[in-house]
Amino acid sequence: MNLRKTIYQLILNLLWVQSSFANYMIADISAHTLIKGVDFTGREISISGVSDSNSNLIAVIKGPDQDYNVWRKKKIGGIWSKHNPHLFKNIPSYFFVTSSYDVKKSIPDMLAYSLGVESHKPFLPSIKKDNKSFYLELIKIKQKANLYPASISTIEKVGKQIFRFKAYIPCSASIGKYTVDIYKVNGNVIKDTIQLQFNIDNIGFDRAITVFSNRHPLEYGVLAVIIALITGSLVGFLFRKDR
Amino acid sequence: MEQIFSLLNVYLPIADVTVNLLAIVMVGIVTGLLAGMFGLGGGLIIVPVLTFLGIDYSIASASSTNQMTASSLSGYLAYARRKRVDYKLGLIMLLGGLIGSTMGIRLFHYLTDVGMLDFVVALCFAAVLGSIGLCTFVDAIIIMYCKLKHLDKPKIKRFNWAKKLKMPLRLTFSSCHEDVSIISLVFVGFIGGIFVSIMGIGGSLIMIPMMVYILSVSDAFTAGTTHFQIIFTSILSTLLHSYSCHHLDIVLSSILMVCTALGAQIGVRLTSEFHPDNFRILLALLVLMLCAKVLFGVMATPTDIFTLEMLSGAK
């Protein structure tokens, strides 16, 4: 009984201490590892936390960076073929942005643009003019695949301090490390930031195969050939006509 | 029902897609069945069908190449027992095959880099499927006509173009009707090797007619010698695909090789029950339909003019 009383007292003290500070923000994520396997058809993750009531929040989720070529198809002699590739390096494979309410009205355009709040797309500091249309096509393709969700819910506030939001990770999301950056914006400036992380990975047999093929491609090929030779020999032996 | 169907889903770790196991098994068995009944190459059916199922072309091609090692070995063993393999001929062709598959992998990389792989391969498949479909169709009509009129089947005319060209380095082979130049043998093997690496097909459908019509090889030795050569070219191609592009999906190729092997044996047994000539027209129509589907893929206006390619180096 005494122990329970002490715990209650501690929680109350902690809440009182927290509310007495102007700047604080803590958050956590519902799942730190998503397993990509046979039953992975996409999954919703939820992030919740506590922050002071005076600030607005912006959250950005980014998937592992990848390089992409965007190709334009042209019809030549009645046949469509790919031409004119434009290379984009270090583009997040997944990009999700949400805010506590219509933040773009309260924060400067540049900040909204750099965080991707307005456009729901990652900010590229140096992009050539002739590359821009290809970059926009990249975004469109990503949006179609649900990898750059364009229509999203806002960060929900529960009471004055608790916040939560959800993000959908589609089955086509790449394997790797994902970061969740939560920005606390007060007026025109970012007051505080926290970063959470989660992974999309495969486990067991699937992981063993992926790792083996990437780290030891020659041995992996040899193993595949050995399996083929054993299968071929077995079939040749089992189904031979003189048996 | 949908739940039962989803239980049969299998995740392919290298292809990074979930496909239905039943669909892959069916592809393997039907391909094996056609191979057993009509001697039609596995890759020619497997690669386009796998791409229709949503598997990337490069993964389908590399996995089909590995599956071919198993099917060629089992085919070779059957022919070797009947002493229907000309090893001398096969080894010289293999030289060309190994050069062809190595160059084919280089070409595969080049075409991938310039974004032309899908386009070139689709056209190659359309050309090969179209010509085989048409030849089989004409063949089926002739067979049907001969059966109706109670006539004998017309004999194949051999041209021996290599002899007409008077190529040097001629050798005598027990399986050939005439002396054959080493150069023409290496050339035929080379073409087969290129097909293995780029298209993921064994190339027997290209090599066997070349051996019969150009090199005057006896019919009895063509299939066995081709199988013998394909074992090595497909092994080399599998290793190169795995080492240089990481496109080989061991799960996919293992499922395929077991199913095609079973399908081929069922096909062989069916030929003793039903004469394959009676079904030749159906095969021709199937191959022509596949050709039409491949052509439609490159000729129909795409839903998206822009396509996104993730560069594997950035993974």
Mean pLDDT by 10 residues, chain B (315 residues): 69 85 90 77 82 86 88 84 85 90 88 82 85 83 83 65 66 75 86 82 75 75 84 90 87 91 79 69 82 86 84 52
Note whether A100 and A29 are same-domain residues. Answer: yes
**Is A226's pLDDT higher than 90?**
yes
Note whether A230 and A198 are same-domain residues. Answer: no
Which of A95-104, A115-124, B30-39, B258-267 has the least mean pLDDT?
Answer: A115-124
Which residues of chain A neighbour B231 with C-beta distances below 8 Å?
Answer: 232
Sheet holding A176-186, edge to edge: A33-35, A189-201, A176-186, A56-62, A95-99
How much is the pLDDT for A126? 66
How much is the pLDDT for A177? 93
**Chain A (97-126) residues lying within 8 Å, Cβ to Cβ, of chain B:** none
Interface test with A, best of B14, B232, B253, B306 (most A CBs within 10 A): B306
**Is A57's pLDDT higher than 90?**
no
Contact A140 B243 (CB under 8 A): no
Q: Is residue A146 part of a domain?
A: yes
Contact B239 A233 (CB under 8 A): no
How much is the pLDDT for B314? 40
- CA B120/CA B127 separation, integer angstroms: 10
Average pLDDT over residues A23-28: 82
Cβ contacts from A onto B, under 8 A: 190
Nearest CA to A65 out of B52, B165, B230, B310 is that of B310
Residues A40/A34, Cβ–Cβ less than 8 Å: yes
pLDDT grade for A88, boundaries at 50, 70 and 90: confident
Q: Is residue A14 part of a domain?
A: no
- 3-class secondary-structure state, position B275: coil
Q: Is residue A108 part of a domain?
A: yes
Q: Is residue A16 part of a domain?
A: no
Contact B235 A227 (CB under 8 A): no
Q: Is residue A242 part of a domain?
A: no
**Chain A (26-85) residues lying within 8 Å, Cβ to Cβ, of chain B:** 36-41, 65-73, 75, 78-83, 85
- Three-class HEC string of chain A: CHHHHHHHHHHHHHHHHHHHCCCCEEEEECCCEEECCCCCCCEEEEEEEEECCCCEEEEEEECCEEEEEEEEEEEECCEEEEEEEEEEEEEECCEEEEECCCHHHCCCHHHHHHHCCCCCCCCCCCCCHHHHHHHHHHHHHHHHCCCCCCCCCCCEEECCCEEEEEEEECCCCCCEEEEEEEEEEECCEEEEEEEEEEEEECCHHHHHHHHHHHHCHHHHHHHHHHHHHHHHHHHHHHCCCCC
Number of domains in chain A: 2
Note whether A230 and A196 are same-domain residues. Answer: no
What's phi and psi for A173, nearest 5 deg?
A: -60, 140
Note whether A213 and A143 are same-domain residues. Answer: no
How much is the pLDDT for A229? 94
Note whether A166 and A221 are same-domain residues. Answer: no
Which residues of chain B neighbour A40 with C-beta distances below 8 Å?
Answer: 11, 18
Nearest-CB residue to B73 (from A87, A209, A236)? A236
Contact A221 B238 (CB under 8 A): yes
Note whether A191 and A213 are same-domain residues. Answer: no
Which residues of chain B neighbour A83 with C-beta distances below 8 Å?
Answer: 115
**Is A96's pLDDT higher than 70?**
yes
Note whether A133 and A92 are same-domain residues. Answer: yes
Note whether A214 and A135 are same-domain residues. Answer: no
Which residues of chain A neighbour B112 with C-beta distances below 8 Å?
Answer: none
Dihedral over Cα of B172, B173, B179, B182: its sign:
negative
How much is the pLDDT for A196? 92
Average pLDDT over residues A73-78: 83
How much is the pLDDT for A1? 47
- CA A116/CA A91 separation, integer angstroms: 13
pLDDT grade for A108, boundaries at 50, 70 and 90: low
Domain with residue A181: its CATH number is 2.60.40.1930
**Is A136's pLDDT higher than 50?**
yes
Nearest-CB residue to A228 (from B66, B304, B305)? B66
Note whether A197 and A215 are same-domain residues. Answer: no
Contact B307 A231 (CB under 8 A): no
Name the minimum distance, in Å, from the CA of B84 to any CA of chain A.
15
Note whether A230 and A172 are same-domain residues. Answer: no
Instruction: Report helix, strand and coil shares of chain B as percent, to nearest 5.
Output: 75, 5, 20
Note whether A51 and A125 are same-domain residues. Answer: yes
Q: Note down the domain range covering A231.
A: 208-237
Provide, rounded to the nearest whole percent, the portion of chain A with pLDDT above 70.
77
Which residues of chain A neighbour B300 with C-beta distances below 8 Å?
Answer: 80
Q: Is residue A62 part of a domain?
A: yes
pTM beyond cutoff 0.90:
no
Q: Is residue A9 part of a domain?
A: no
**Is A21's pLDDT higher than 60?**
no
Q: Is residue A2 part of a domain?
A: no
**Is A191's pLDDT higher than 60?**
yes
**Residue A142 touches partner B, C-beta closer than 8 Å:** yes
- CA B36/CA B40 separation, integer angstroms: 8
Note whether A100 and A216 are same-domain residues. Answer: no
Which residues of chain A neighbour B301 with C-beta distances below 8 Å?
Answer: 75, 80
